[in-house]
Amino acid sequence: MKRWYGKLLGLFAGAALMRFNPLLGGLIGLLIGHAFDIDWFRLRRDDPYAVLGVTTDASDADIERAYRRLISQYHPDRLDGAAAELRRQAEARAREINGAYDRIKTLRKRS
């Protein structure tokens, strides 16, 4: 478990709701705590432009160039003989880069 404060918030919420219905209050408190710990209530989304290292006013060519540069650095196939942990980190970073690039393309299609 990486975080603990969501569980604490859930404990307080459950205790407050237990006045009305003990079983339901405890269950709702547990769900609230778990939701906070796994970022269901994330207030801000990650900036896809920051992931690629470009600004929001960058041209499509600049975004494409940044994407290709980053994905060529972090693509997991480049790390065939590397340690498993390093390969997992590269896969996670490549997923993040791909997600940011897809998000930017979607945002720009809407405009």
Contact 39, 20 (CB under 8 A): no
**Are 74 and 94 members of one domain?**
yes
Rounded to 10°, the helix 84-110/60-74 angle is: 170
**Are 92 and 54 members of one domain?**
yes
Contact 71, 95 (CB under 8 A): no
Judge whether 104 lies within some domain. yes
**Are 24 and 67 members of one domain?**
no
Residue 96 — pLDDT band, cuts 50, 70, 90? very high
**Are 56 and 94 members of one domain?**
yes
Of residues 6 and 108, more confidently modeled: 108
* DSSP at 82: S
**Are 29 and 73 members of one domain?**
no
Judge whether 43 lies within some domain. no
Q: Give the mean model confidence (pLDDT) for residues 66-83.
A: 86
Judge whether 19 lies within some domain. yes
Q: What is the CATH number of the domain that holds 69?
A: 1.10.287.110
Q: How many domains does the chain have?
A: 2
pLDDT digits (tens, 9 = 90+) for 4-61: 667 777 777 777 777 777 777 777 777 777 777 766 666 556 788 989 999 989 999 9
Per-residue CA distances from 82 to 50, 74, 86, 89, 93 (Å) = 27, 12, 7, 11, 15
Q: Which domain does 82 fall in, by range?
A: 48-110
Return the closest-CA partner of residue 8 out of 40, 30, 24, 25. Answer: 30
Q: What is the pLDDT of residue 18?
A: 75
Residue 87 — pLDDT band, cuts 50, 70, 90? confident
**Are 33 and 59 members of one domain?**
no
